[in-house]
């Protein structure tokens, strides 16, 4: 379970997060939604340990993630802004991940790189943006994470690749009870994969719920009701 309680963050005079709380149950696929600038990426950065909160707490399985190497080894985050070492080929990144993550699955890596037609001998800097994102998923899911945290994960990918990625992710959720937190503004796609959603606006959590409890209302309808945006914004 991922639990955030009363998280606050200020940058200069601007409050980015305002006592934001969320709960992601074990084995859930949780869609963290909001318009651009709502604070979604800042929440992800806190979970990754890239920034420190001004106040509030973040725990996974009841433990703070900061300075907890054992817990970090079971959490994989794919940020919107991907990073790879400049001189590394994909197979070099594989070696790097294999050293860090104790549950590395070589068979899964081989299966996924073949499925996505990725050349593991190619320098990562020569990959297209879409190929880099596919490579990031191959590496991430091959670590066999208990927790997968994604920031706008499939933007810019074609429909066939998107379907393949969701197939792998949802397979791990079903087989291993992997917990997934997805930051997105795409209400339609989140409705296909999520069973919980939280909606952020202005740095606050304005809605959180189990989709089974709110059906037949759609995520898109909730999104529009809570944010009052037009359909072209979601």
| pLDDT tens by residue, 126-154 | 999 999 999 999 999 999 999 999 998 88
**pLDDT, tens only, 161-213:** 999 999 999 999 999 999 999 998 788 888 889 999 999 999 999 999 998 88
CATH fold of the domain at 26-53+63-233: Rossmann fold (3.40.50)
Mean pLDDT, rounded, of the chain: 90
Torsion angle in degrees (nearest 10) through CA of 5, 180, 159, 208: -40
Quick one: which of 193, 204, 205 has its CA closest to 219? 193
Distance CA 118, CA 129 (A): 13
Please, what is the angle between helix 106-115 and helix 129-142, to 10°?
A: 160
Query: Please, which pLDDT band fits residue 74 given cuts at 50, 70 and 90?
Result: very high
pLDDT value of residue 174: 96
* This prediction's pTM: 0.91
Please, what is the angle between helix 106-115 and helix 90-100, to 10°?
A: 150
Does 231 score more than 70 pLDDT? no
């Amino acid at each position: 379970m991922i639990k955030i309680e009363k998280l606050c963050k200020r940058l200069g005079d601007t409050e980015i997060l305002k006592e934001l709380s969320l709960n992601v149950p074990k084995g859930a696929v949780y869609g963290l939604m909001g318009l651009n600038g709502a604070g979604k990426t800042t929440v992800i950065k806190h979970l990754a340990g890239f920034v420190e909160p001004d106040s509030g707490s973040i725990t996974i399985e009841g433990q703070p993630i900061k300075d907890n190497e054992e817990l970090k080894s079971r959490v994989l985050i794919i940020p919107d802004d991907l990073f790879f070492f400049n001189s590394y080929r994909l197979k070099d990144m594989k070696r790097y991940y294999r050293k860090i993550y104790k549950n590395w699955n070589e068979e899964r890596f081989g299966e996924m790189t073949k499925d996505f037609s990725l050349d593991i001998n190619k320098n990562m800097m020569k990959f297209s943006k879409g190929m880099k994102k596919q490579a990031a998923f191959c590496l991430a899911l091959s670590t066999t994470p208990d927790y997968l945290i994604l920031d706008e994960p499939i933007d810019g990918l074609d429909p066939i690749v998107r379907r393949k990625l969701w197939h792998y992710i949802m397979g791990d959720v079903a087989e291993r009870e992997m917990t997934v937190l997805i930051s997105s503004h795409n209400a339609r796609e989140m409705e296909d994969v999520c069973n919980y959603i939280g909606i952020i606006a202005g740095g606050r959590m304005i809605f959180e719920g189990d989709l089974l409890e709110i059906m037949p209302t759609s995520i898109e309808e909730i999104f529009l009701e809570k944010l009052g945006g037009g359909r072209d914004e979601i």
